[in-house]
């Protein structure tokens, strides 16, 4: 009996201080938790401002167009530059790769863009040959952009062969402008 009284006293000596120090949750007033203020650093502000300016510049670079074979609205952007090819070639030269790197940056900044890459040729050669060559040119550009990291599902290719010349002339100066890939925005 003495043992049970001692155990009871020891238990009370342990339990009473624990209860008094822990308090009762029923009577505690819950404090509202306020998130810490987030202050943007000057660098973050500058980055956000640059992004907004780039978006505005891109929006201003857009021109609505209509194209044969494409239903609905399409756009062209001065930020998506044409790439040019040598006669009877579809391999990308250094200038074309630099332009495609810039095109990649635009596509990376605007992840909702879906573009069509148009392959074009000069008037020399048969229609069938030029359609095939234009397709190879567009495919080369698409392949390079996908290697840079653009999802293939955002890119489509089409060949217009010699049917849509940039310059209607019949000399080397005109022909060199017509051997190209042109980029059209199908959706934003």
Tokens of 173: 């100066």
Question: How many Cβ atoms are within 10 Å of 46's Cβ, its own excluded?
Answer: 11
Nearest to 165 by CA among 154, 177, 151, 147: 177
What pLDDT, on a 0 to 100 scale, did the predictor assign at position 110? 93
pTM over 0.75: no
Q: What is the pLDDT of residues 51-109, one digit of tens each?
A: 767 766 677 666 677 766 666 788 889 999 999 999 999 999 999 999 999 999 999 99
At CA 166, angle to CA 116 and CA 103, rounded to 5?
A: 40
What pLDDT, on a 0 to 100 scale, did the predictor assign at position 139? 98
What rounded mean pLDDT belongs to the chain?
Answer: 84
Q: What is the pLDDT of residues 3-27, one digit of tens each?
A: 665 565 555 566 566 566 555 555 5
CB 122 within 8 A of CB 179: yes
What domains can you pick out in the chain, each with its CATH number? Answer: 74-188 (3.30.1330.60)
């Amino acid at each position: 009996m003495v043992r049970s009284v001692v155990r009871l006293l020891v238990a009370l000596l342990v339990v009473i201080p624990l209860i008094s120090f822990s308090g009762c949750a029923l009577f505690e007033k819950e404090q509202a938790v306020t998130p810490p203020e987030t202050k943007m650093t000057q660098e973050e502000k500058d980055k956000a401002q640059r992004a907004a300016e780039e978006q505005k510049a891109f929006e201003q670079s857009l021109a609505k167009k209509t194209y044969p074979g494409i239903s609905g609205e399409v756009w062209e952007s001065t930020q998506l530059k044409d790439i040019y090819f040598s006669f009877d070639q579809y391999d990308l030269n250094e200038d074309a790769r630099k332009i495609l790197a810039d095109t990649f940056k635009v596509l990376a900044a605007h992840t909702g863009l879906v573009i069509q890459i148009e392959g074009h040729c000069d008037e020399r050669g048969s229609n069938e040959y030029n359609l095939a060559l234009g397709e190879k040119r567009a495919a080369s550009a698409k392949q390079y952009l996908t290697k840079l990291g653009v999802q293939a599902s955002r890119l489509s290719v089409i060949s217009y062969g010699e049917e849509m010349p940039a310059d209607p002339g019949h000399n080397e100066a005109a022909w060199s402008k017509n051997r190209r890939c042109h980029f059209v925005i199908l959706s934003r």
